[in-house]
Amino acid sequence: MDKRYDAVIVGTGAAGLYAALNFPESVSVLLISKRELPLSNSSLAQGGVACVLDTVHDNYKLHINDTLVAGKYKNTLSAVEKLVKEGPADVLRTKDLGVDYDLNPDGTMCKTLEAGHSRHRIVHHKDSTGKAIVDALIEQVKKLPNVDILDNALLYSMHKTLGGFYLSVLKDGKSLYFGCNYCLLATGGIGRVYQYTTNSAIATGDGIAFAYMLGAKIRNLSRVQFHPTAFAAEANRERFLISEAVRGEGAVLLNCNGERFAHNYDKRGELAPRDVVSNAIAREALRTNSEKFYLDITHKPADFIKSRFPMIYAKCLEEGIDITKEWIPVYPCQHYLMGGIDVNLHSETSIDGLYAAGECAHTGVHGANRLASNSLLEALVYSRTAAEDITRKLQKYGRKPLGLEPAHRPITGKKMPSGFRSQIRAILQDAYFVLPKPEKYDESYKKVEEIIKQLFSECYEISSDLVEAKSIAVVASIILDEVREGQS
């Protein structure tokens, strides 16, 4: 073992970083980042953070109700109440930690409206709120004397012992081994299980796969959210998001004939929850026999658009689209995961000492569909909760002996054949997209299981390709098994 810690955090998005900031200096922490620190789904979050800061025009009950409506009342009410009531304090703390939220002339935080919300309650930094939060938290974490940071480090094995965990990490071509009493998985989403996603390259469901292989309960993994307005760039697997806030500021959806259509499917039109709008686009595509759809905000002043959405304006301009004058080509793609590693209100999984927070966790907050801008709030609230619970247990029980260190398999082996990940992505994209194809579930599940058998039976060289192929295979298998059994 190279070093022992009280707690290891795997993942450096908003959840992982904020958790690190909520441990006292007496707790030793290792923070593991698969790639460079700023690369995470959190950094790509555009819209903002939903929270009740204006109690004159808004209240907790309204935010809770909006969350339940979007989630089709399949949410865990106690988890939603915790999110909404505790969230504002965490958001204000991130402001104190240096997050540069947009402010009104009187110094209060600007609040915008997004689909599914009944009040203006989304605080933001332009159209790159996630990046503003992550960048500020990284700077603060780097100052912590009790936190070691290991970036560009691949977790490839986890072992549970009576007293904690042993973790095997690949760094610069060499294996490193760490022990800890407690482990927090904050590894983000599963976007790379699909052909097209708004997620970053690292979103391969690693934490979910490791938790599953340890025996943790995984819940509602088939509750995948498809965002209705990703930029329709066919050449790129990773598609950049056209934020919910663009529709919140008045943009309208148009079909291939330049006609508005969203109100034909739901009275809330463009401001219906994401799954409703995505479904409307998919059904309109069948009606018109075309996948050409557009978002139009050209009726707004050009200066407003450039000021409110500078990143989206610049990204679209790179693709040859001036959104102040032209329609934005959009189409639904994989965006978020409502299910994940099942946790309680303390963010602990079904395995003693193993915690999860952020997108990889199933808190029950989102129900069947996530309400816009609740994700960053969830990452903050439940990662802080995990850090607090781990700290309480360390204070109560002390540092437990870890037990015998497991034997380590060599990282060498034969090279894994290419193509596994592409096969899995094609299977999921075809069988389980916005309008699912139940008739393909059984066949798709069998194909993925065959891939899993090959990946886990052969002694391949340890690499990011192998770890990520195993992860997306396990995730795809769980999703397809759930929908086959009608569990979600």
**Alpha-carbon gap, residue 445 to 485, rounded angstroms:** 11
Q: 375-397 and 129-141 are packed helices; what angle lies between their axes, rounded to 10 degrees?
A: 20
Contact 58, 119 (CB under 8 A): yes
**In DSSP terms, which residues pair with 218 in a beta bridge?**
341
Tell me the CB-side half-sphere exposure of residue 79, using CA atoms within 13 A.
26
Contact 475, 218 (CB under 8 A): no
**Alpha-carbon gap, residue 52 to 31, rounded angstroms:** 31
> Judging by DSSP bridges, how do beta strands 147-150 and 29-32 pair with one another?
parallel
Neighbours of 306 (CB within 10 A): 15
> Judging by DSSP bridges, how do beta strands 293-296 and 147-150 pair with one another?
unpaired
Closest by CA position to 240, among listed 284, 189, 204, 191: 191
- The yes-or-no answer on residue 274 being catalytic is yes
Catalytic residue among 192, 223, 274, 425: 274
Phi, psi (degrees; rounded to nearest 5) at 453: -60, -40
Contact 43, 134 (CB under 8 A): yes
What distances in angstroms separate CA 457 from CA 32, 160, 454, 470, one per listed residue? 28, 21, 5, 11
Residues belonging to the chain: 488
What distances in angstroms separate CA 330 from CA 232, 293, 335, 336, 372, one per listed residue? 5, 6, 14, 17, 18
**Alpha-carbon gap, residue 342 to 487, rounded angstroms:** 15
- What are the tokens at 5? 């810690």
What is the dihedral angle through the alpha carbons of 16, 73, 51, 188, rounded to the nearest 10 degrees?
20
Residues with a catalytic annotation lie at 274
